[in-house]
Structure 1
């Protein structure tokens, strides 16, 4: 479709900004004149970032995590790890290969287990867990991507995620709920769990948790956010307010330089928002008019973006920066067949044959009497000749779910769909044919429920081979008069069995168990040998030693 001529609409969307003055909004100083590019670490010297939460701004503190009980994993060999324990409610043949990737946290309730980045298998057992030191720190958009090295042409699988603090009241009330607090960043880890890169935003924006996408060009596309001071009275908000602006940024991963940016305030009219500017009164005077929550790149370099609070998806020419078409919202270029419309949507993705997939939250707080919809995965067929969107596939849950925020619809390599239910505590996999409202169990292949009030912004199924650079962990205890050795290797996907060595001193160890099958994250291996020194060796499927643990002593 040719790029549309925006004309008066483009002019109306371009907003003048207050220039040359520093304004204080909700306890933060914002420069309305363009700030210099954010200073970050040298790209060839990555460092840990966002290791402490943002200072609280609200009236209450976040409750401490629940780190014991039946809903939490605890391990003898890894006493510092307490990931959530999910309940698998369905597991049928036909699921795609791969592990499950989530970033558990909670809103308005204690998180069960630690927050962090968690890989699990189909049984719900942890595979790798990287905990965070505070429930006010979260990981989001945790997944496997391919890192393309532009200089060498080589590629490698990597783990990527956002890390930082999310504005969750009543702990954080300076920004709209779900916005990133200052201080976040993006991580890239290799399959040995070593830090490769940390990525930061430019133009004084904050790295945003909603999207971090690696490209074939050796760059990263992501969402960056910041409040911009603005008189909101034309929209029904405060005069000394601010609007939460978002910018699509693309950074060269080798140099750290910004190579592309596209600012929402330069192209879109906040008056099209479905969120009242009066809501700024509860978020430090900042209005979340747009809420940009996903970016996808098409085969010709076009960008697909989702604006939750506009109920709209846009196709943007990366070359010219013009909007090619709009799907949904107050000025949609398309009409909708029954079951094709969506509200508060997330995770818009290009699909084959002109299709678009997304997660339709469908609720809540509908304005103007708009009916609430049951949340579901949605695939739309776009007819560009008639400018009409038709529901090609839908994916509903049983019991019905109503997710007020977050969520994603991932297309898997075998055509299945993996659904992260966002603010509802589930993730699921469906056969490609999907189902219809009221038939949520049809074509459901896999389903798991997170404990307590735990949720994950998105959930993914990805293929992953983890080869930790660090050694396995071991512990030994006396239980009922016998020695029990506990073995684990956080992140190893190749370990199939364990070999146990024991002896009276560290220099005189011999094999006491040649091949103990791995049983979940941690394997308990009884032995009659009194030790008191023990060591374990991780074995692959061929029985070869992958790596040895440190030598540990028996605890009574």
Structure 2
């Protein structure tokens, strides 16, 4: 795991332990090791990508796939997502479920992948990855406008690939791209619509993938650019991890726009010492661009973590209109308005911007103690002064060296993904201040072990899987226990159980068993030995029917259900 080193004139306050924050794509493979119920058919796509991790230089620990911190199911034995601990769940949260993409730089608890949880912490949909050296990031709901226009469809999007996470990967800066990543777009039936790649030698980066109303995708791409770094204090035969904003047409894959960091930002202003390249294959992570947001007037808001700066860019010309933060800031700061190592800068109405202020570690000499928090700033564009509008702190206080996001919700609340700290939270819009992290806290959940998620979101989603429900039947104490689940179905409210002496002679033995979590266990006196389940919606309509299974008595339900 990479560790930042102290550098004059700063004092070292806390060790900055950095993990995943960007990614790349080059080749891709056709075969997928992901279970078919999680992936679906690849309608409208030429191939899957990023299903094989970039080869690590060191072995990584196997994931923990059993125990109290991991879900396991009788009807879906290939799914072992992490189990979160919900520590606060109060009235007033926004509608929707929580979207996270858990991974770990140490030993993973559960499988990596894309995970949707409800407010109770139960899984709604999980798409596992075949290796802990593969990760998902920026997993969320967006609207896909095919060919542009006003009529779009809800979709799931995410980045998939391999992060450079020491000690297994030290050829690039921690969190930088390894070859083989790409972006995925899935429809409401969990079928692949599109895979998206970058252009002219750059690789899709985990930080950002945004669909526009124009039928395009706006994202960050990155790659090492060879450069003599001696004038910056780095190696002669080194490289800069450069970042580029790209926009592609989703229908054709054609590149429509690009903006290159090296053309517009001076790497000499970086807060990341060029000497750090010695521990990352000679590559200096000078910029570390981690978000791009498009405003309604053709402006781009670009966050560069290692510059401690946010840039307002005129999209058409590429010119930087102003810089907020960093060594050449165009703004001064009011009390508590300054930020460090920030992520997820977004335009807000009324000359405001939001971000996640990591704030942790390697702060300027004399800077006050600072905790990670969601931050909304007022920008006075005339006087060029930034002041605090609202802040969102956690209890207990958190120090997240990397990652994180601040999401505006439709009801005025704010959802915070705490990045390298294993939490996600929701707050009433008024927020709180440092030392009062419980004030206006409505929802809070903790990830197990060393698991983290680059971002976390609350989104509304209606999933109607193309694949059928799953079921399994076990004999237990003279009864039959039927397990029913449907990975990703958001409208199932109850289960109908059928049984019979053979597969063609089934009759209803339980008319309507209420759904209880991801997997529902229904006990019946019916001997079977053939069983089937039907998923019912709130009106009792059949949504889907499982395959017929036979009763098994190979192990007790106490051993299989955890």
Considering the TM-score relative to the shorter chain, is it more than 0.5?
A: yes
Separation in 1, partners of 2:301, 2:339: 16
Q: How does 1:53-452 map to 2 (within 5 A)?
A: 53-57=53-57, 60-107=58-105, 109-150=106-147, 153-366=150-363, 368=365, 370-452=367-449
Separation in 2, partners of 1:289, 1:373: 23
- 1:508: how far off? 0.2
Deviations 1:88-137 (A, max 9, x none): 00011100000000000112x21100000000000000000000000000
Residues 44 and 192 of structure 2 are in contact (CA less than 8 Å); yes or no, is this contact kept in structure 1?
Answer: no
Task: For residue 350 of structure 2, give the secondary structure of its aligned residue in structure 1.
Answer: helix
- 1:149: how far off? 1.9
Unaligned runs of 5+ in 1: 1-36
Separation in 1, partners of 2:244, 2:296: 22
Which TM-score applies when normalising by structure 1?
Answer: 0.91
Residues 115 and 131 of structure 1 are in contact (CA less than 8 Å); yes or no, is this contact kept in structure 2?
Answer: yes
Pair 1:472-2:464 in alignment: no
Residues 127 and 521 of structure 1 are in contact (CA less than 8 Å); yes or no, is this contact kept in structure 2?
Answer: yes
Residues 102 and 114 of structure 2 are in contact (CA less than 8 Å); yes or no, is this contact kept in structure 1?
Answer: yes
Counterpart selection for 1:549 from 532, 546, 549: 546
Separation in 2, partners of 1:321, 1:200: 22
Alignment correspondent of 2:7: none
Separation in 2, partners of 1:199, 1:116: 18
Residues 417 and 430 of structure 1 are in contact (CA less than 8 Å); yes or no, is this contact kept in structure 2?
Answer: yes
Separation in 2, partners of 1:323, 1:351: 19
Deviations 1:266-303 (A, max 9, x none): 11110010000000000000000000000101011211
Separation in 2, partners of 1:326, 1:230: 25
Unaligned runs of 5+ in 2: 1-25, 31-41, 554-562
Q: How many residues get paired?
A: 517
Which TM-score applies when normalising by structure 2?
Answer: 0.90
Separation in 2, partners of 1:368, 1:175: 28
Q: Describe the shift of the 1:275–1:63 C-alpha distance in structure 2 as closer, same or farther (beyond 3 A).
A: same
Residues 29 and 49 of structure 2 are in contact (CA less than 8 Å); yes or no, is this contact kept in structure 1?
Answer: no
Alignment correspondent of 2:6: none
Q: Which has the higher contact order (CA 8 A, sep 6+)?
A: 2
Q: Describe the shift of the 1:47–1:38 C-alpha distance in structure 2 as closer, same or farther (beyond 3 A).
A: closer
- 1:370: how far off? 4.3
- 1:40: how far off? 11
- 1:366: how far off? 2.9
